[in-house]
Each structure stands twice: as structure tokens, then as C-alpha cells.
A = this chain, B = another copy of it.
Amino acid sequence: MSPSQAEHSKTTTPDTDWKQLAGWVERCDAPAIEAYLKQLSETDRVHDLGRLTADARSELLGLVHPEYAADLIEEMPKLLAAEAFEDLTPDNAAEILEELASDDQANLLRHIEPESAEAILDHTPSLAADSVRGLLEYSEDTAGGRMITEYLAVPATRSVQDVIDEMRANVEEYADYAVQYVYAVDQAGALAGVVPLRELLLARPNRSIASCMVNTPVKVRADAHITEVFELFDEYDYIAVPVVSEDKTLVGALLREDVDELRLDEAHEQERNARGIVGGEELRSMPTAVRSSRRLAWLSINIVLNVTAASVIALYEETLQAVIALAVFLPIISDMSGCSGNQSVAVSLRELSLGLIRPKEYRRVIAKESIVGLINGVVLGAILGVLAWLWKDSVALGLVVGSALALNTVVAVCIGGSVPLLVRRLGYDPALASGPMLTTVTDVCGFFLTLSIATAALSHLIA
């Protein structure tokens, strides 16, 4: 793309332009659609496409040239892309499918109904369809499910010149190949070695591939779990890693680019989980029923946990009746302990992901957290205690509220720090399960501490 096109990305389209786009879609004006979208930056394109109705989005993909439709699918959020793609006619979808890279083909088909996918593959030339079907057999959280099949494999016995000649003869085909390596295979198709393009460039033309390849290349099994893949790409600096089957046959290549994207998706999902969007990404263009029910599933668990925690308060109605001011402090203590505990959760999640802590090292976490909890608890308790004292002119109320918050802060940070380790040990995702478990326990404990201390000191509070 020319620099002048890159400049365009600076201007933001007015809010109403997508309505014009909707009009062109209605009138099936493919040239106008393409001309309009092509002069937008990627961000603006995604925005405008997102604002169309689901039907219009799908119609648009069917109207533009299949190659451009494939470009748009690669840019769109995956959920929107799959939805729009599924609503195309199978032959139209098949045309677009052929323009995508092998890993994008598999990913797209994985996110639509199996019957729709099969119908589309029936309209795809058999060679391409077989390749996609092969990829679909791998689960999407394995190396095989994320690899590309556009790689260059040559017999190790051939000469460097031979390989370069072949590449020259097939420039068009290989132009799309993102891999920066040539893979050498033996007669059975097993991976024998890897030749970086640079080595190929610098090697004498009459040398054999075998003589200039890396003999024991880093590789990954197609059925390796994606977390293993992440570790591998952390450990080595390669731009791509070959993927082999159980019998060592070369079956694909994993690009760092794709692995990085996957990891970023995972990090974003964890952030969403931390904020209570669980069970899949939500976009506001989704049907209200889906959005509402997914959120409710999470909220229903929360309300049960909340009611359980608050029922502790019900046990102390008499104390509350006697010192009604306590009712003001209960939500404060609940929220503050939740905040303190969540900070501790964040540090444990980070240390777990960096490998600085192992799931069984909860003693170390508690030792470290209890000191921070004690300091912060005393400071926060003092602030709240003084406020309570000044408000009601009651030292006793200040002491009750302050000491309860101080103690509960210690409890919250210790539990917050160790819950992620425990959840990981039990084999669950610590980012997902830590939040509600933590706040329930700290709420119960906070309400109990405040109200039981108040009950014990009741004579001083009333006096």
C-alpha cells in the first residue's frame, strides 16, 4: 500500500457515514462499497462494518470481490466475521474461503455450525477442502489447530540451486507463504532439518540442503497444548516453528505472529473475566437475549454468594438495632476488603504467569501478604476509625470499626493471595474463579468481625 493511503488512517470518518454504506449495500452497489471502505483506515472500516445490521454485513461480504471479502473477514472481530460468513450462500462462502490463509480458514469454520461448514466445504475445490478438513481435526487449543499449511518443504537431498530454481518457478504461489524457513524432509516426509532463508541465500549453490540445514530443529507436536506452544516461543526466538505429527511427518508451521495474537486474546479474555464477562466475548451487536443471559449466569452466582455473606448481618440484628450507625460501615468494610483482596489476587496471578511462584507455595504468599495487609489494615482502619469517632463522637465506635477493618484487611490479602494458587492447583483458571470466592469469604469475615466486636463492646457503644 502506498504511503498516501497510510496517511488516510489519521482522518476519522463522521459518525453518519456508515448509514451511507448501509444504503449502498441495500442497492447492491459493490463498486461504491469497495471504494468507500478502501479509503478508510482499518479502525474506521471495522467501526463502520460493526454498525451495519448482521444481515447487511453478510450481504456486503457477498457483494464485494471474494479476495476483498477475505481481507475484510481478517480485519473484523472474529465473532462478527463468523456470523456474517455463515449467512452467505455456500458457494459464495467457498469462494471467499479459498482466499484466506489455511489457519484463518479453519478458525472461521470452527466458529460456525458444523452443518454450515460442511455445506461450504462441499462447494470448495476438493484439494483445498481436504486440507481444511485436516486442520479441523485438531482441537483449536493445540499446535495443529493453529498451524498454517502454506510452507515450503523440500527433500534434504536436493541442492541449494535446485530449491532456489523451484522457488523462482513458483514465485506467485510462494508469495503468500509467510514462513521464513525452508523445511527439509526425508523420503517418508519426516522433518529432517530447517534452513533459514538467510542460510539459503549465503550457501554455495551446489551444496545440498542437508549440508546447510539445522539438523535437530526445534519442532512441536501437532497435538501439543497451546500453553506448551507459548512456552516454546518464549524459550526460542524463531519466527516460525515446524509442526510434526506423531510419526514425525511435517504437517505444518506455527507462526510467532499467530501465537502472539492468541496470547493477546487470552490476556484480553482474562481482563474481561476479571470484570465479570464470562462465557465468551460480548459485543453490543449481539442479540439482547444472548447478552442478558450470559451476564445473568454470572450475576446469579454472585447474588447467591452475596445473600449468603449478608445473612451474617441478620444474626446481629439486635446489635445493629442498638447501634444503627454500624449499618453505614458494613458496606464500606465489605468493599474495602474486596479491594485489598483483589490487589493481592492480581499479584498472585501475575507471579503465577511469570513463573515466579508455584501453586504449592501458599505459605510464602501468606507470609509476604500478611505484612503488607497488617500495614495497610492499620492505616485504613485508623482512617475509618477516626471518621467514625468524629462523626458519632464515640471512641468506642471508632475502635470497633477501625479494628474490624484492620483485621479484615489482613484476612482479605492473605486469602486473596492464596486463592489463585489453590484454584490453579485444583486445575481451574485462577483468573476466573478467584473474584467471587474471595469477596464472599471477605464479606462474611468482615461482617462477622465488625458485628461480633460491636456486640462484645456493646455497653461502651451505647453509653
Residues of A bordering B, CB below 8 Å: 1-3, 6, 9, 12, 15, 41-44, 46-47, 50, 77, 164, 167-168, 171, 174, 178, 180, 197-198, 200-202, 216, 218-219, 231-232, 234-237, 239, 256-257, 260-261, 263-264, 267-268, 270-272, 274-277, 281-285, 288, 291-292, 295-296, 298-300, 302-303, 306-307, 309-311, 313-314, 317, 320-321, 324-332, 334-336, 338-340, 342-343, 345-347, 349-351, 353-358, 360-361, 364-365, 368-369, 371-372, 375-376, 379-380, 383-384, 387, 391, 431, 439, 443, 447
Contacts and interface: CB of A to CB of B under 8 A. Distances in A.
B346 A276 contact: yes
Please provide the 5 A-B residue pairs with the shortest distance between their CB atoms, ordered closest to farther.
A275-B346, A267-B267, A260-B260, A327-B327, A50-B356
Given A260-B260, A288-B371, A327-B313, A306 B336 contact: yes
Contacts of A171: 202
A440 B341 CA distance: 18
B321 A376 contact: no
Given A167-B202, A355-B47, A384 B303 contact: yes
Given A3-B219, A335-B338, 10 more contacts: A1-B236, A6-B232, A41-B231, A50-B354, A180-B239, A239-B257, A257-B260, A306-B335, A310-B329, A327-B330
A288 to B, nearest CB: 5
A336 B302 contact: yes
Given A317-B325, A380-B299, A380-B303, A180 B178 contact: no
Contacts of A324: 317, 320-321, 324, 327
Which secondary structure dominates where chain A touches chain B? Answer: helix
Contact of A180 (B197, B202, B351): B197
A155 to B, nearest CB: 19
Contacts of A338: 335
Contacts of A270: 271
Contacts of A372: 288, 291-292, 295
Given A15-B360, A164-B202, A314-B328, A231 B43 contact: yes
Contacts of A285: 356
Contacts of A321: 321, 324
Contacts of A309: 331
Contact of A239 (B200, B239, B326): B239
Contacts of A232: 6
Contacts of A300: 380, 383
19 contacts: A1-B218, A6-B218, A47-B357, A50-B357, A167-B202, A201-B201, A260-B261, A271-B274, A271-B349, A275-B346, A277-B346, A283-B356, A284-B347, A292-B371, A302-B336, A306-B332, A310-B331, A320-B327, A331-B334
